């Protein structure tokens, strides 16, 4: 099973690919954008992660503080979708 793990919208966005318990890829957005603590997913980061194949499962990390804030302000799933769309464009 191939898992794509994503952490974004706070501190330093990152993505990793784990396949059958082995880390195949791990990267941080700041390495691609050159912006320290870049909270947004980067096209290059996602492109490099997907070079290892399409995931069977996508796992999103969430910040407890951010979750409470987004739950009161807006639909958090829409924010994740927006973050992913920016990375894919």
**Percent share of the chain, pLDDT over 90:** 27
As a three-state string, the secondary structure of 4-68 is: EEEECCCCCCEEEEEECCEEEEEEEHHHHHCCCCCCCCCHHHHHHHHCCCCCCEEEECCCHHHHH
70 pLDDT higher than 80? no
Q: What is the pLDDT at residue 29?
A: 84
CATH classification at residue 6? 3.30.420.40
Q: Considering its fold, how many domains does the chain have in total?
A: 1
Q: Which pLDDT tens digit goes with each residue over 7-29?
A: 887 778 889 999 999 999 999 88
Mean pLDDT of 53-57: 91
Structural domain of 10:
2-88
Among the listed ranges 2-11, 66-75, 77-86, which one has the minimum average pLDDT value?
66-75
């Amino acid at each position: 099973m191939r898992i794509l793990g994503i952490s974004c919208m706070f501190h330093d966005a990152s993505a990793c690919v784990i396949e059958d318990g082995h880390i195949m890829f791990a990267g941080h957005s700041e390495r691609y954008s050159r912006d320290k603590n870049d909270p947004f997913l980067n096209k290059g980061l996602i492109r490099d992660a997907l070079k290892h194949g399409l995931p069977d499962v996508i796992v999103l990390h969430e910040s407890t503080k951010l979750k409470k804030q987004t739950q009161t302000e807006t639909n958090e799933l829409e924010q994740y979708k927006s973050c992913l769309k920016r990375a894919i464009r």
